């Protein structure tokens, strides 16, 4: 009982931390820090409240599978979004092709 209360205390501290840190502008680190703290809290709940710490490999496997598949979805969808507007041809490609066509070797 005291053990669970300790976990709960840690979760409260992390909640206070993330709320407090959110008031400070960390620039590009804002969202990674917030997500890191959320992940830490989620890990605490999963390991101790949900007993993953003491569960068999199958339960861990199930939890990991969900996260792995989610990360696949994120990787490809965000990968598409991030690279969609990069032109496939380098600048000046057409000129290069045209001058190659004019070259005496042909």
Partner 1 sequence: MTQPEWIAEPQSPPSYLNDGYGWRSWFLTTDHKRIALLYLLSITGFFFLGGFFAMMIRLELLTPQPDLLQSDTYNRFFTMHGVIMVWFFLIPSIPTVLGNFLVPLMVGAKDLAFPRLNLLSWYLFMIGGIVAFSAIVIGGVDTGWTFYTPYSTTYSNSHVLWMALGIFIAGFSSIITGLNFIITIHTMRAPGLTWFRLPLFLWSTYSTSLILVLATPVLAITLVLMGLERAFGIGIFDPALGGDPLLFQHLFWFYSHPAVYIMILPGLGVESELISTFSRRNVFGYRYVAMASVAIAVFSFLVWGHHLFVAGQSVYIALAFSFLSYLIAIPSAIKIFNWMATLYGGSISFETPMLYALFFIGLFTIGGLTGLFLAALGIDVHVTDTYFVVAHFHYIMVGGMVVAYLGGMHFWWPKISGRMYPERFGQVSAFLIFIGFNLTFFPQFILGYLGMPRRYHTYAEGFQTLNVMSTAGASILAVGYVLPLFYLGWSFFRGPLAPANPWGATGLEWKTASPPPTENFEETPVVTEETYRFPVREEMLV
Partner 2 sequence: MSSNVYPAAHFRSFDQQHEASELGMWGFLCTEILFFGGVLCGYTMYRLLYPQAWVHGSELNSLWLGAAMTVVLLASSLTMALAVRAAQLGQSKAIVVFLAATIALGVVFLALKGFEYYGHWVHHLVPGFNFSGYQAPDHPQVALFVVFYFFLTLLHAVHMIIGVGVLSVIAILAHRNRFSAIDHGPVEIAGLYWHFVDIVWLFLFPLLYLVGAHQ
Cα–Cα distance for residue pair 92/63, rounded to 1 Å = 49
Residue 98's binding partner among partner 2, partner 1, none (Cβ under 5 to 8 angstroms by kind) is none
The residue range among 11-19, 25-33, 42-50, 78-86 that interacts with partner 1, by the rule CB under 8 A, is 78-86
Q: How far is CA 39 from the centre of its chain?
A: 10
Cα–Cα distance for residue pair 21/41, rounded to 1 Å = 15
Tokens 């992940």 correspond to what residue? 39
Residues near partner 2 (CB under 8 A):
1, 4-5, 7-8, 11-12, 15, 18-19, 22-26, 30-31, 34-35, 37-38, 41-42, 45-46, 48-50, 55-56, 58-59, 62-63, 65-67, 69-70, 73-74, 77-78, 81-82
């Amino acid at each position: 009982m005291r053990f669970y209360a300790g976990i709960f205390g840690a979760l409260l501290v992390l909640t206070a931390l993330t709320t407090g840190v959110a008031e400070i502008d960390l620039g590009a680190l804002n969202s990674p820090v917030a997500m890191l703290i959320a992940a830490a809290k989620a890990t605490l709940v999963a390991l101790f409240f949900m007993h993953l710490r003491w569960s068999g490999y199958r339960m861990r496997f199930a939890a990991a599978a969900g996260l792995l598949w989610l990360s696949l979805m994120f990787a490809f969808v965000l990968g598409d979004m991030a690279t969609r507007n990069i032109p496939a041809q380098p600048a000046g490609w057409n000129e290069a092709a045209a001058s190659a066509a004019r070259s005496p070797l042909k």
